[in-house]
Amino acid sequence: MSTEPQSPLPLKVLVADDEPLARQRLRTLLAAEPNVELVAEAENGADTVRQVLARNPDVLLLDVEMPAGDGFEVLRTLPPESLPVVVFVTAWQRYALQAFEAQALDFLLKPYDRERFRAALARAREQVRLMRRSEAVSRQEAMLTGLAMAEAPLRRLPVKVDGRIRIIDCATITHAESEANYVRVHSGGEQHILRETLTRLEERLDPRRFVRVHRSVLVNVDHVRELEPLSQGEYLLILGAEGTAVRTGRSHRARVEAAMGLITEGVSPR
């Protein structure tokens, strides 16, 4: 295991204060800290909001009393997803409670010394680290959920019916037919048109249940009632309560026989 010390987490910091000397002091203190980038400065509330949205800082060192919107108004204006870690930097003790109620991480009371500033920045860096880890975990969970959903066979199929979207239980689908770039789905005695290719629909359905029996026909084997052998390796499948007849393709013979259990230990019934 490596014993080399890890570099501090990189931080993007924005300073908002209407006093030039106060900004100068913060610039000096930040310049002495490793892996800190001062991305912008703002001298009033409205400019602070613009800079946060444009620069997306990790940490906002925020004065309370500023023209064109004080520090609290800045936090009320920013959308929650754009809020950085906030450290209030002010000369007014009376704002402390309000600052923490506004979810500020820390409250630097002027005049403060270098050690107090470094402690506040260290807390902010740790908070940013936790937030990034949480975001990374959330992204990973979302990715895994998406992959699981993408890999799972489709159980319900949405179809448009008279301006509405009806959810079809895939178990009720007897078969589907290709019609150019569309698919006609048969379910419960009804037919529905999907703007999708048969190949794409086949990829989404459960391969243990749905089998391509012809280049333009996909059949749910659970609804096959009878098979009638035809010439040259073809079959006539009788489907569902309606007794719909579907002719299989010659090149799909082995697949049909396997799906219907006609092939045992590799031996075809023919």
pLDDT tens-place string over residues 93-114: 888 888 888 888 999 999 999 9
pLDDT score, position 148: 66
Question: CA 258, 260, 261: angle at the middle one, nearest 5?
Answer: 65
Q: Which residues pair with 239 in a beta bridge?
A: 224, 244
Helix crossing, 114-151 with 20-31: angle to 10°? Answer: 70
pLDDT score, position 162: 81
pLDDT score, position 150: 64
Q: Domains of the chain (ranges plus CATH)?
A: 11-144 (3.40.50.2300), 156-260 (2.40.50.1020)
pLDDT score, position 211: 93
- Contact between 172 and 188 under an 8 Å Cβ cutoff? The reply is yes
pLDDT score, position 102: 83
pLDDT score, position 73: 93
Strands 106-109 and 85-90: parallel
Whether omega for the bond prior to residue 84 falls within 30 degrees of 0, making it cis, is: no
pLDDT score, position 49: 95
pLDDT score, position 16: 97
Q: Which residues of the chain are under the pLDDT cut of 50?
A: 1-2, 265-267
